[in-house]
Structure 1
Amino acid sequence: MNVRAASIRMFLAAGIFTVSSLAAAAQEDPMTRIRVLVGDTELSATLDDSAAARDFASMLPLDLTLSDFHGIEKVADLGRKLDDSEAPRAYEPKAGDITQYRPWGNLAIFYKPFQSSAGLLRLGAFDGPIDALLQNGEFPVRIEAAD
C-alpha cells in the first residue's frame, strides 16, 4: 500500500506541476495581438514585448489617417513619442514591420524593406499580407486590440 500511495502522490505532483507550468506560460505570453481595420478588411499583427510596444498598446484603439512616404511606408501622426527606454539606436525595417520614427513621433508601417535607420523603433509586425494598405492617397484605419 505504501508503494501505491507513493505512486499516486508522484502522479498527482507531476500533474500539478504540469498544470501550473502551462498556466505560468500562458500568463507570460509577452505578445499582444492587434488588428488593423482598413475599410472592410481586417489585418492581424503582433506587437513585440518592449516598453515601446506596451506604450503603443496602451493608446489603443486609435483612429488614424495613413499616407504614403517615399514609396516604402505608410505613416500617420501618433500625437506623441513612445517609451524608447529599451530601444536600440537604429533598426533595419522589413516589409510588414510596424514602427515609430522617434524624431517625428509618427507611426510608420513599412510595405517595402529599407536600410537601417537611426531613430526607428520597431513595435511589431503584421502576421500576413498587407495588401489592403497599398492604397494611393490618404485613407483611414482603426488599430485596436484583438480579442
Structure 2
Amino acid sequence: MRIRLTAGETVLDATLDDNATARDFASLLPLTLRMNDLFKREKYAHLPRPLAAGGEPRSSYEIGDIVYWSPGPDIAIFYDHDGQSIPDPGITVLGQIGSGAEALKQYEGTVDLTIEAVG
C-alpha cells in the first residue's frame, strides 16, 4: 500500500510492507500525529492503540524506515542514522519512505504529521 506523509511543507511518499502489523497500521489511516524528536535521528509519536503482531522484530534500521515499537505503542520515522541498535523488544518495520526522509531534520522538537493512504 502506498501512503503519503505530510509535515508542514514536506511531503514524502512511502510504501507499507505486507505484514499483519503494517496492515493493522493502515486500518488507522488517515491519521495526524504530533511527532516528537528522539536522539536527532527519528520522529516518533504514540499511536491510539497497539498494533497486531505479525512483522519480524529487528534491532537495526535504515534511514527512511517507518517502524512500530510495541512498548509505546509508538510509530517512528528514521531520518538519520547514529550507528546505535534498537533495544529489546526491537522494532517492526511497517514500510519505507522512497526518498527525502532527511527533510524531517528541519523540524526541531515537535511537528504535526499527517499520514494517509494514496490511490
TM-score, normalised with respect to structure 1? 0.72
Matched, 1:76 2:45: yes
Cα distance between partner residues in 2 of 1:94 and 1:111: 8
SS in 2 for 1:108: strand
CA contact (8 A) 1:47 1:53 kept: yes
Aligned length: 115
After superposition, the C-alpha distances for 1:2-36 in whole angstroms (9 at most, x for unaligned) are xxxxxxxxxxxxxxxxxxxxxxxxxxxxxx00000
Matched, 1:103 2:71: yes
Report the AA paired with residue 85 of structure 2: Q
Matched, 1:126 2:97: yes
Cα distance between partner residues in 1 of 2:99 and 2:57: 27
Equivalent residue, structure 2, for 1:144: 116
Equivalent residue, structure 2, for 1:25: none
Q: Map 1:9-20 to 2 at 5 A.
A: none
Q: CA RMSD in A?
A: 1.5
* Structure 1 ranges of 4+ moved more than 6 A: none
Structure 2 residue runs of 5 or longer lacking an equivalent are: none
CA contact (8 A) 1:92 1:117 kept: no
CA contact (8 A) 1:90 1:117 kept: no
Equivalent residue, structure 2, for 1:115: 85
Task: Determine which structure has the larger helix proportion and give its number.
Answer: 1
Q: CA deviation at 1:116?
A: 4.7
RCO higher in 1 or 2 (8 Å CA, sep ≥ 6)?
A: 2
Q: 1:130 to 1:90 in 2, by over 3 A?
A: closer
Matched, 1:56 2:25: yes
After superposition, the C-alpha distances for 1:41-98 in whole angstroms (9 at most, x for unaligned) are 21100000000100011100001111111222110111211111x2334341111100
